[in-house]
Amino acid sequence: MATETIKVNSREFVVKKYSFPTEQIPRLDYQDKKAEKLIENGQPVILTGSDLVGSAHHWDIGYLCSNLGSGQYTVYSSADGKFKYYDDKKLTQNKQFKPPTTQTDMTFQEFAAKLKRKDNKELMYLQQPLNDTVGTRIVMDFTNFNWGWANETQKKNHWGPMTSNLLLVGMEGVITPAHYDEQENLFAQIQGYKRFLLFDPSQFECMYPYPIYHPHDRQSQVDFDNPDLTKFPNFANVKGYEGIVGPRDVLYLPMYWWHQVESLHGHGETISITFWYKAAPTVKVVYPLTSGQKVAIMRNIEKMIAEALNDNESMPSFMQAMVQGRYT
């Protein structure tokens, strides 16, 4: 795998080299009016100097071990280090689907002990909603997040309610392959460095998501390491953004933006916390539609057709019959 070296603020990072061009995601102080403007316009921005999770800046594996209590945590394992999310509620409709990762529940202490072992054959990724089973120190740190700023940002941008905070602890080298989410996301990095590759929702035609009834719904079918340009020819035209998100950085990741996330080697495990918000309720449709809104329309139509046909096998021929030779 070809690599390249990126320099950010006198630090050097060795990253995988991909086939597509990228521009830098802007990095601005979180109080900079330009940053506020970008968020307002649904554009990604890496916010520096934010104290959104200031009360968690001291979190490391040892502290979490001592203070997360003995609750069970969901740990995913992957032989190739890729953690392509799959919706287990859609497994029934896809008998032949083979989950690409395995999922084990364990205490954080067991997870930390596994991290220390040198004979790990698989990479591991702990992903857990922050809930009340955690210890009192963590609850205190959580309570002391800068909720004032978070709530103000939520209100100013007419986002819906916050739905969840996920605690993520990844080994160096874990990769979350390209996908999009249907929520606004303030992504707070606490420890380690993550490279984000982002693609505007208008790149939909280059990303070839799985069918909506597939367990990998919302994930791209394209293998970035070995893109099949026969099956996915438009991927040759894809253009992205990229940025390295380090400790104390907060990335605003707009809804419907595709993202691939790589925990970089040489800087230890990554610890992140996500703040997900439902979309703003669309009170009045404003034209022209944004590219994100067009993706939402495509998804809703795909869902309606799948429900109406009630037979996923007939979706491919139906979808093609609807447009072929007509909308050329």
Which residues contribute to the site for Zn ion (CB under 5 A)? 181
Position 125 contacts ligand QVZ (CB under 6 A): yes
Site for ligand QVZ in 70-89 (CB under 6 A): 76, 83, 85
Site for ligand QVZ in 1-40 (CB under 6 A): none
Q: Please, which residue, 75 or 306, has the CB nearer to ligand QVZ?
A: 75
Min dist CB 259 to Zn ion, Å, is: 6
Distance (Å) of CA 101 to CA 8, 48, 124, 134, 174: 32, 33, 10, 26, 12
Site for ligand QVZ in 258-297 (CB under 6 A): 259, 261, 272, 274
Total residue length of the chain: 328
Number of chain positions touching ligand QVZ (CB under 6 A): 16
Fill in the per-residue mask, 147 to 176: x = in contact with ligand QVZ (CB under 6 A), - = not in contact.
Answer: -------------------x-x-------x
Query: Can you tell me the distance from the alpha carbon of 68 to that of 107, in angstroms, rounded to the nearest whole number?
Result: 9
The letter for the amino acid at 37 is: K
- The tokens describing 81, both together, are 């280090």
The letter for the amino acid at 147 is: W
Q: Which helix (H) or strand (E) holds 178?
A: strand 175-179
Fill in the per-residue mask, 241 to 260: x = in contact with ligand QVZ (CB under 6 A), - = not in contact.
Answer: ------------------x-
Query: Can you tell me the distance from the alpha carbon of 205 to that of 234, in angstroms, rounded to the nearest whole number?
Result: 7
Stretch that binds ligand QVZ, among 36-44, 146-154, 181-189, 216-224 (CB under 6 A): 181-189
The reply to whether omega before 211 is within 30° of 0 (cis) is: no
SS3 188: strand
Binding site for ligand QVZ (CB under 6 A): 76, 83, 85, 125, 127, 166, 168, 176, 181, 185, 187, 194, 259, 261, 272, 274
